Amino acid sequence: MSTFTVPPLHREGWRFVGLFAVGAALLFWLWEPLGWLGVILTAWCAYFFRDPARVTPNRPGLIISPADGVVQMIQPAIPPAELGMDQRPLTRISIFMNVFDVHVNRAPVDGEVVALAYRPGKFVNAALDKASEHNERQSIHLRARDGLDICVVQIAGLVARRIKCELSAGRNVRAGERFGLIRFGSRVDVYLPDGIAPLACVGQRAVAGETVLADLKSDESARLGETR
């Protein structure tokens, strides 16, 4: 028999929920119908900052999705120049998060943080291809335990105005480990190592910490998918 449980709140969300709750109380004081609208918005805020547990596959070599959302694009692209990585095109998987998705980001592999680079920018729709180049972003260079390099980029979106990354250079991370979040609606790009084919498909819904995007130990070609 399954039981419903309320997922915990990410610590970044408590102050926002508190502010929304105070606002709801003020609206009740002004006019009761507005107060109930405030209650709904407070509940939505708590829902946005939810941080559910995830079951992460722990076989070495797997690249796990760092974000919840829809795989928007899979295409060749050059990693962010500010990381100092080789400027050859790599396969980039772009995952778009809408305001109803979980926004806690998780490490895609076991490995070491080689470098971090923040770059300010615009706030165009994160679903657009140009968002990878022009939007505010936090880039992360990871080195998996087998020595292959992976790049993860947190990208601000149309309504996202805050990227939070808790990593530091030299830190070791485990696949599925929480490392930050973006509020409120955004995108995360994953650049695969050269020669590694994606196992995810465009249009597929990814789950942070659970969905396998690629396998460093596989020689399988890129997968194709269709809506059924």
CA dihedral 123, 171, 198, 161 (to 10 degrees): -10
To the query of whether residue 221 is one of the catalytic residues in this protein, the response is no
Using CA atoms, how far residue 59 sits from 167, 173, 178, in Å, is 23, 15, 18
Max Cα–Cα distance, the chain, nearest Å: 64
Which of 94, 132, 186, 218 is an active site residue? 186
Query: Between vectors from CA 132 to CA 194 and to CA 110, what angle results, nearest 5°?
Result: 45
* Cα–Cα dist 222/207, whole Å: 19
**Closest among 172, 150, 148, 156 to 65, alpha carbons compared:** 150
Helix (H, G, I), strand (E, B) or coil at 14: helix
Q: Which two tokens stand for residue 154?
A: 């947190």
Tell me the catalytic residues. Answer: 186
